[in-house]
Structure 1
Amino acid sequence: MRIRIDAVDLPGLTRPASADGRTPAYGNLHVAVQRRDRPAELLDPQPGDAASATWTLECTTSATPAGTEVAGPYVQHRLGRRFVYLSWGTVDEAGVFTMFRRAKLMLDVVPADVLAAAAREGLLVGRLGLTDAQGGPLCARVEPPHITWTAAPDPSRKPHAPEGRDAP
């Protein structure tokens, strides 16, 4: 199975300091998917002013007594909960990404029927906006209704030939 994250409504390249002084200003914002146990390894950083951003993650599924379990290089597993990290950071003149905030796209809240269908069909799609209520980068735990999860056929899968016939 693959997970595709379709993001829209990115917050822009800059984040002004908060009025209370608790949050500093940030510039040249980017967002990327973080690899499990390797915070510096990021998948396809996108600028904060992009019209949209899409990431596709390879993963595996297995049936367990609790339902469909998802694993893969970008699937985090902490305290029995599985999720995908979207890391927000600044990118300096040398191209170095410095993370300052993350969003957790929670996989354990995907409806069981949707996850089972995605395992069969090949693709789990998460759609979300990446700007929070204050106009900054979305962070913290992300669950419905802030993200919509659906199953879809994976267009990269080759069709299977009927029994006893070769595929064209």
Structure 2
Amino acid sequence: MRIHIEATNLPGRSCPPNAGFPGYDGIHVGVQRRDRRDELLGLHPGDASSAAWTLECTAVATPGGADIRGPHIQGRPGGRFIYLAWGSVDDTGAFTMFRRAKLMLDAVDPATVEAAVRGGRLVARLGLTDGRGEPLRAAVRPPLIEWSAGA
């Protein structure tokens, strides 16, 4: 199975300081690999018009429903998620993470997961800028993210 993430409304390559946010330049976002904090899939600049990632995964049937696993799937059964890592990229190309967003797989409707397992594809659509104009962070669940099967 594959999970395809389609993101729009990125916050920009620079975000000024705000209460509780020191501000950053060179902002980029990518998908963090499980147990490898510094290994990112598909790093996109924060001023891109959109960003997309496709993750290979498997769905294992359990009494509680499908358990989605893969190299970019984080967490324990029943609490799985995907990390979008936000960081600053300097002139040498070094990425320094400053925040993450957790795309919560336990928030996907079970019928949608079942249809995605049958069809082989789960799609997530979301905007990546929060209400303060900063990179989206924390646990992300509907209505901030829309999950569908196959489309």
Q: TM-score range by the shorter chain?
A: over 0.9
Give me the whole-angstrom Cα distance separating, in 1, the residues matched to 2:129 and 2:54: 20
Give me the whole-angstrom Cα distance separating, in 1, the residues matched to 2:112 and 2:76: 22
Q: TM-score, normalised by structure 2?
A: 0.97
Name the structure 2 match of 1:72: 70
* SS, match of residue 106 in structure 2: coil
Name the structure 1 match of 2:83: 85
Is 1:57 equivalent to 2:62 in the alignment? no
Give me the whole-angstrom Cα distance separating, in 2, the residues matched to 1:97 and 1:51: 20
Give me the whole-angstrom Cα distance separating, in 2, the residues matched to 1:139 and 1:27: 17
Greater than 3 Å deviation, 4+ residue runs: none
Name the structure 2 match of 1:157: none
Offset of residue 25 of structure 1: 1.8
Cα deviation code 1:104-123 (max 9, x no counterpart): 00001100000011011010
In the alignment, which of 104, 118, 138 is matched to residue 116 of structure 2?
Answer: 118
Give the number of the structure whose alpha-carbon radius of gyration is greater. 1
Name the structure 2 match of 1:96: 94
Name the structure 1 match of 2:14: 14
Aligned-residue sequence identity (percent) comes to: 58
Give me the whole-angstrom Cα distance separating, in 2, the residues matched to 1:74 and 1:29: 21
Indicate the RMSD between aligned Cα atoms, in angstroms.
1.1
Offset of residue 59 of structure 1: 0.2
Q: Which amino acid aligns with 1:110?
A: V
* SS, match of residue 114 in structure 1: helix
